[in-house]
Structure 1
């Protein structure tokens, strides 16, 4: 049996933009379902917002998104979670880093750390904090 953990990110009207941005970073296929598609009653002008969206890359990166309707309470909080992207290939991880770093705030620059050959943290323009690192051999045990 295989279980996958997928971050499910909530936005207010930016889910489509965020999902497309992440597709430019990681590649892969995007699928979206709007509030209108589901028949969910939402305020006028929000019918085209995302009720469910997903990115699945060939490298195994998965992200799901949702636009919280304005009639529902939503507060993005202050760093309530991190999205971790851990790989075994330093150049692949570096490529993701460089793409995510555009218009982002670097919290920890991508560099060697005591626990990873490369580790970095940034907050993208959507307020999502990403941790990228290269896995150490002992991390698999």
Structure 2
């Protein structure tokens, strides 16, 4: 079996973002820091930065993220959206409400011409999301 998961990159605030996503989506968060991985050649001032973080929700969603070390080039995400969709209307609307906190709403969550509800936003961390509730 192959698995495809979003893996988000941040500069210095992956932990904050992952903890926000955990509050919004629920689930279990596991974080490994650069300092917990000997021999990685990281800047000692970045020892507490996220080398790998993984959020797994009770309903099986997986979101991963890390901080980009200062020794590597970082570009804010662009041209990609995380899509959250399905038939669990209450769950998806609650996720929309949580993600909307501090977000820039591109398309309000509302009835879509193809049925159901659809909305787009860029969250407080600059990550674009699409939320689609089946009709």
Please state which band the TM-score falls in when normalised by the shorter chain. over 0.9
Paired residues for 1:1-141 under 5 Å: 1=1, 3-39=2-38, 40-77=40-77, 79-136=78-135
Structure 2: stretches of 5+ with no match in the other structure: none
Q: Which runs of 4+ in 1 moved over 4 A?
A: none
Distance of 2:113 and 2:120 partners within structure 1: 15
- Counterpart in 2 of 1:139? none
Aligned-residue offset at 1:44: 3.1
Question: Over aligned residue pairs, what C-alpha RMSD do you find?
Answer: 1.2
Tell whether the 8 Å contact from 1:23 to 1:55 is kept in structure 2 after alignment.
yes
Question: CA–CA distance in 1 between the matches of 2:117 and 2:88?
Answer: 10
Which whole-Å CA distance do the structure 2 matches of 1:22 and 1:4 have between them?
Answer: 20
Deviations 1:17-37 (A, max 9, x none): 000000000000000111111
Unaligned runs of at least 5 residues, structure 1: 137-141
Task: Name the TM-score, length of structure 2 as normaliser.
Answer: 0.93
Cα distance in 2 for residues equivalent to 1:103 and 1:120: 15
